[in-house]
Amino acid sequence: MTARKVATLNLRIDPGLKEAARIAAEREHRSVANWIEVLIRERCDTLGIPVPEQQALFTDTPDAPED
């Protein structure tokens, strides 16, 4: 199954912070969006917040989160 992005996150940040994120993403050979997604996943892991894998969001398994 091909991963699909289904949610949009829009935010306003300081231009300097945006540029720093762009540089960091470039150094890790990622897009800015992917770099931010990795940061969120890592931080949630640190805080003990479970983040379902994207594939689980598109399957009809008992582990899939319900809205």
Coil, helix or strand at residue 38: helix
The boundaries of the domain holding residue 45 are 15-58
Q: Specify if 3 maps to a domain.
A: no
Q: Specify if 50 maps to a domain.
A: yes
Token pair of 8 as six digits: 């949009």
How many domains does the structure of the chain reveal?
1
What is the chain's pLDDT, residue by residue, as a tens digit (67 residues)?
566 778 899 999 999 999 999 999 999 999 999 999 999 999 999 999 999 886 665 565 555 555 5
What pLDDT is attached to residue 42? 96
Residues constituting the chain:
67
